[in-house]
Amino acid sequence: DYYALLAAGMDKDFVDVYVHGLYGYVRDGKPVYENWDSAFHMAKEVLTAQRGYPLILAFDNTGLKQGCVAIQYTPTGQLRILHEWLIEGMGTRKDIIRPFIWSTYPGIELFITGDPAGVKRSDTDERTTFQEINEAFGLAATPARSNSWAARFNAVDTFLTKRLGKGEPALL
């Protein structure tokens, strides 16, 4: 059987896409997070922030390929990724993120963090990306404690391998 031969020795994502014709992706090369399972870690519906709990904005705020994720840690221990932005070819784009957050989650408590390298002053105007973020949101952003690869990798991978009460993913 053609499809049985095609599926032999392939991972679930490959089989879903090329054998079953499902939406998905096929990995090329070694994944950063081998514990990521799109069928398990992807929300089945659009996630929204829960009122009464802070929204965390985590910026990758250095260089010309910057990003930000809006996440929330729920009382059940689940870390929910609510929104993500990737901004290429320009600096910190708080003018894109701020209006979205304020219009989508008016009055929500914010905690803002970012790449600790963002405390470095710019060669052109001597400002830091943290100063830009602080001014945009009207509160102090806190640099992450570490920029080490191991700390950043383990922070995510720990949630990928953890299961909650009813077998739910700790990262969604």
**pTM value surpassing 0.85:** no
Q: State pLDDT tens for residues 52-108.
A: 999 999 988 776 778 889 999 999 999 999 999 887 766 555 677 888 998 999 999
- Residue 143 has φ and ψ, to the nearest 5°, of -65, 145
Count of alpha carbons within 13 angstroms of residue 25, beta-carbon side: 8
Distances (CA, A) of 39 to 34, 42, 156: 14, 6, 17
CA distance 53 to 105: 11
Residue 146's pLDDT is 87
Q: State pLDDT tens for residues 139-154.
A: 888 888 888 889 889 9
What letter does residue 41 receive in the DSSP assignment? H
Least Cα distance to 136 among 57, 35, 40, 34 occurs for: 57
CA distance 16 to 30: 19
- Cβ proximity of 118 and 62 under 8 Å: yes
Q: Give burial (CB, 10 Å; 0-12/13-18/19+) of 104.
A: middle
- Cβ proximity of 112 and 137 under 8 Å: yes
Count of alpha carbons within 13 angstroms of residue 80, beta-carbon side: 20
Which of 19-23, 104-108, 119-123 has the highest mean predicted lDDT (pLDDT)? 104-108
